[in-house]
Amino acid sequence: MAIDYEKLKAWNFGEQVVDWTWEKSALYALGVGLGFDPVDPDQLRFTYEPGMLALPTMAVVVAPSHFWLRDPATGVDWKRVVHGEEGITLHQTLLPQGRYVTRSRVDEIIDKGEGKGALIYMTREVSNADTRKPVATITRTTFCRGDGGFGGPTGPIRQVHKLPEREPDHTCDLPTLPQQALIYRLNGDGNPLHADPDVAREAGFERPILHGLCTFGVSGHCLLKTLCGYDPTRLRRFDVRFSAPVFPGETIRTEMWRDGSTVSFRARVVERDVVVLNNGYAEVV
C-alpha cells in the first residue's frame, strides 16, 4: 500500500488535553539521566518536588505524537521509519505540572523518489489549556525509508544548520545507564525496538537502542548544565538532526560552539567515536 498524499497530509490528529503532574516531570528527568548524582542540588531540582523545575526538552513528551504511522491507513511501511530531526521553540517556560492542550499537523510530505524514501514534516503546538496561550512549538522530520515514489512533491527540503569549522568552545560528557531505555519508554514511547532484544535484532541491531529523543534530552541537559547554569528559562530553542543510534550504557559527549545567543552543537558516543546528533542549533539567552 502506497502513501496517499492528500489523505496523509490531511490526517486528523484531533486535540489532546494533557493533565501533567510533577511525577511525570520527574520521570522524564530521570529518563534522560538527571539524578545520576543524587546529591547534586542542580539535578535534584528537576527530580524532587519542593521548588521543582521542568526541563525545556520535556515538551516533546508533553505533546506526544504516539506511533501514528503504525496505522495501516497511513500507507507507510512503519518498520522502516526512522526519526530524522526534532526541534523545540519555547514561547514560555514549561511548568512541572499543569494542563496542556496539544495539536498536531502534517506540514508536507516530500517524495525523494522510488527506492529513496519519503520525508514527513510535522508541527505540534503546545498551549496552556486554561489560558490557551502558546507554550511550545515542536517540529519533526520523519524519514520513511520504504515509501518513496508515491507521486508527491519533490521539495523543498529543509536545510540543516551548518556547524562552525573551529574547535568546539565547550564539551560536556554525560553517561547513560544500561537500563535507561527501559526508564525512558515509560514517558510514552512503547516502540519495542528500545526494549525487546528480538525486535532489535530483527531491525539489525545487536541489542535494544536508546530512544532518539532520550539522546536529545541528554544533549539538552548538557547545554542546560554548561551554558545556562541549570536555568531552564534561558534555553529557548533546541533543534537537532539524528545521525546514529546510542546503546544504553554509552557516554554521550556534546560539543558546543557559542556565538552570542546562538549555540551550534553535535553529540557523539565517546566509546565508539560516532556522531549521534548533528547540525544542532540552539538559542540561549
H helix or E strand, kind and range, residue 87? strand 81-90
Per-residue model confidence (pLDDT) at position 203: 82
H helix or E strand, kind and range, residue 103? strand 98-111
What mean pLDDT is predicted for residues 268-285?
Answer: 98
Per-residue model confidence (pLDDT) at position 24: 97
Per-residue model confidence (pLDDT) at position 41: 95
- Domain count across the chain: 1
Is the confidence at residue 64, as pLDDT, over 80?
Answer: no
Q: pLDDT-derived band of residue 27, with 50, 70 and 90 as boundaries?
A: very high
Indicate which residue of 147, 194, 211, 221 is catalytic.
Answer: 194
Query: By percentage, how much of the chain surpasses pLDDT 70?
Result: 99
CATH number, domain of 243, equals: 3.10.129.10
Lowest model confidence (mean pLDDT) among 7-16, 59-68, 269-278: 59-68
- Annotation says 194 is catalytic: yes
For 79-96, how does the pLDDT look when each residue is reduced to its tens digit (9 = 90+)? 888 899 999 999 999 999
What would the grid cell of residue 106 be? 502534517
Q: What's the predicted TM-score (pTM) here? A: 0.94
State the helix-helix crossing angle for 22-31 and 212-227, rounded to 10 degrees: 90
- Owner of C-alpha cell 525523494: 112
Is the confidence at residue 211, as pLDDT, over 80?
Answer: yes
**DSSP one-letter code for 186:** G
Indicate which residue of 91, 111, 170, 189 is catalytic.
Answer: 189
Is the confidence at residue 43, as pLDDT, over 90?
Answer: yes
Is the confidence at residue 204, as pLDDT, over 90?
Answer: no
Residue ranges making up the domain that contains 52: 5-284
Residue among 233, 264, 265, 237 nearest 252 (CA): 265
